[in-house]
Chain A
Amino acid sequence: DTAVSQTPKYLVTQMGNDKSIKCEQNLGHDTMYWYKQDSKKFLKIMFSYNNKELIINETVPNRFSPKSPDKAHLNLHINSLELGDSAVYFCASSQDLLSYEQYFGPGTRLTVT
């Protein structure tokens, strides 16, 4: 069973479009995260949610909006996509806010043309 899953695995779209990436975890964790990995493989946290509540919102354009319908899901919606949004986006989860051990999904490679 996949612990943290993301869909789609690959996403190719044009500038200006709106797209969503979905993330689900079946670990019963309370806290979920979105990270962005750029072309140089540098990973940076974007958001974290704890029990559906936004905890961390790093300096990310407001075109990025996370949505957590329940604590097992954290989706990432991106409006008006730009070339610079091309990256691999990773979802992760941890037991709770006090747990630093995070489990990562397989990533979604977003290519904006």
Chain B
Amino acid sequence: AQSVTQPDIHITVSEGASLELRCNYSYGATPYLFWYVQSPGQGLQLLLKYFSGDTLVQGIKGFEAEFKRSQSSFNLRKPSVHWSDAAEYFCAVGALLSLGGGADGLTFGKGTHLIIQP
């Protein structure tokens, strides 16, 4: 079964500083990888996704992520954070149904809580 690890429960970054949130996955085949953001009291919004092709993917709000197969990682980055980026960030992996096709829901990591210092 697939799994996702986000090793940092909390991260504090100063406004304007760069950000990297870590995500490691475990999956036997090529994964479908996602980053979602959850602002306080809100639902989840898709930031970016990786299915295949270029391993550096661009998302919304100035975020990007890089897929590294050798490290089983899909880290999220932003060159300069804004106070509005304070939120919970979830990495997720999509897996195929054991019957050979289709989405088996998403498996989420436990999230990283991002705090922005003024």
Contact = CB atoms under 8 A, between A and B. Distances in A.
10 interchain residue pairs of minimum CB distance: A45-B105, A100-B94, A97-B102, A104-B44, A43-B108, A106-B43, A100-B32, A104-B43, A41-B111, A100-B103
A102 B107 CA distance: 12
Interface in A24-56: 31, 33, 35, 40-45, 48, 50, 55-56
Contacts of B111: 41-43
Nearest to A98: B102
B105 A41 contact: no
Interface of A: 4, 31, 33, 35, 40-45, 48, 50, 55-56, 58, 90, 92, 94, 97-107
Given A40-B110, A42-B110, A99 B44 contact: no
Q: Is the interface of B mostly helix, strand, loop or mixed?
A: strand
B43 to A, nearest CB: 4
Interface string B23-38: 0000000001010101
A40 to B, nearest CB: 7
11 contacts: A4-B43, A40-B110, A42-B108, A48-B105, A55-B97, A90-B43, A97-B101, A99-B103, A100-B49, A105-B43, A106-B43
Given A31-B103, A99-B103, A106 B42 contact: yes
Contacts of A92: 44
Contacts of A45: 104-107
Interface in B98-118: 101-108, 110-111
A107 B110 CA distance: 17
Given A42-B108, A42-B111, A44-B108, 5 more contacts: A55-B97, A56-B104, A97-B101, A100-B103, A106-B42
